[in-house]
Homo-oligomer: A and B are copies of this chain.
Amino acid sequence: MGIVLCGILLRHPGVELSWVTSESFKGKKLSDVYPHLKGITDLICKEEDVPALAKTVDAVFMALPNGMSMELAPKALKAGASVIDLSADLRLKDAKVFEQWYKMPHKSPEILKDSVYGISELSDLKGAKVVANPGCYATASILALKPLIDNGLIDPETIVVDAKSGVSGAGKTLTDETHFPNCNEGVSAYKVATHRHTPEIEQALGADIKITFTPHLIPMTRGILATVYAKSRKAADEEKLTKVFRDFYKGKKFVRILEDRLPSTKYVYGTNYCDIAIKYDARTGRIIVISAIDNLMKGGSGQAVQNMNSMFGLSEGTGLDLVPVYP
């Protein structure tokens, strides 16, 4: 995820990327490690030394394994930098819930009340000093559900989120599940009812809501499609529901409410868009919302930059005006 972030920041007109750190690659040119960046940057990976490095910049992005930024974020803040954290460390307001899902103690519970959970379209980020960037699945799910919840349109006990992700969501670590011959031509569910993005989604939806969340691995590189099911509180129709979403996301340029089409991850490839369509199953009284994002962009680095833009008073789309890679 960090490398996608670097790519965006290197082209961002309001950003100078001063340094990157990497334990594995310290001393190496970033473009030797990631050859797609050849000719784009000559940055050399530094050793991680947040207290010193953070003094030299306005903002620090942290794309680290869970458990690390809870220690480093306070140091960066103390050094005067704002923090955008892409790990799970700062997302859950309740340290107990964090500990229950992540099976590790939370070492900086005091930072959680200041940290803003940053779904860009739903959060007040102006002037925020520390932002917890949401999980990829959480972004797709929350954007699909929030208009229904806030307008009281669904029975919150009936929510099911069935999400499909490209393999890049699993990260850089080599595993049997991400070995090409194993996952090509294969679809499977994983972490059924136990995926750690679940409590984030529930927290964003509001008090005591419990959802069933099932992630699936799909043989493609990028993209998440979330199919969200919930019982409508009353008979509904698709046009009105669509209008609710259009109104809810009015002026939010990265959320596109589709009317005559269903979303495809292909239509948002490589960009920060979230495409949403709303259907109603009159036979069963269920509302079905489908949202599509690029998991590495709106589901990760794109949203992180969108959040940074808002924190610093820039237009939310600065550096993100990309056209989806189609076909």
Contacts and interface: CB of A to CB of B under 8 A. Distances in A.
Nearest to A188: B264
Interface residues of A, number: 89
Nearest to A39: B256
A212 B193 contact: no
Contacts of A34: 326
B188 A263 contact: yes
A221 B193 CA distance: 28
A72 to B, nearest CB: 25
B218 A36 contact: no
Nearest to A158: B158
Given A264-B186, A283-B193, A327-B182, A225 B219 contact: no
Given A214-B288, A262-B189, A269-B185, A325 B323 contact: no
Interface string A284-327: 10101010100010000000000000000000000001111111
Nearest to A169: B181
Contacts of A267: 35-36, 38, 186
Contacts of A162: 160, 162, 227, 229
B218 A280 contact: no
Interface stretch (A4-12, A78-86, A146-154): A4-12
A10, A190, A210, A221: most-surrounded residue (chain B CB, <10 A) = A221
Interface string A89-120: 00000000000000000000000000000000
Interface string A146-173: 0000000000011010101011100010
A129 interface: no
A260 interface: yes
A52 interface: no
Interface in A1-30: 3-4, 7-8, 10-11
A177 to B, nearest CB: 9
Interface in A205-225: 210-212, 214, 216, 218-223, 225
A166 B261 CA distance: 20
Contact of A180 (B221, B223, B261): B221
A188 B164 CA distance: 10
B270 A186 contact: no
A181 B160 contact: no
Contacts of A326: 3-4, 7, 34, 36
A165 to B, nearest CB: 9
Contacts of A218: 164, 187, 218-219
Interface of A: 3-4, 7-8, 10-11, 32, 34-40, 157-158, 160, 162, 164, 166-168, 172, 174-176, 178-190, 192-193, 210-212, 214, 216, 218-223, 225, 227, 229, 253, 256, 258, 260-270, 273, 275, 279-284, 286, 288, 290, 292, 296, 321-327
Given A174-B176, A193-B281, 7 more contacts: A35-B261, A38-B256, A166-B181, A168-B181, A181-B327, A188-B264, A193-B284
24 contacts: A7-B324, A11-B322, A36-B266, A37-B324, A39-B256, A164-B164, A164-B218, A178-B179, A178-B181, A180-B180, A180-B183, A180-B219, A181-B327, A183-B266, A184-B219, A184-B220, A186-B265, A187-B223, A189-B263, A193-B281, A193-B284, A212-B281, A216-B225, A270-B270
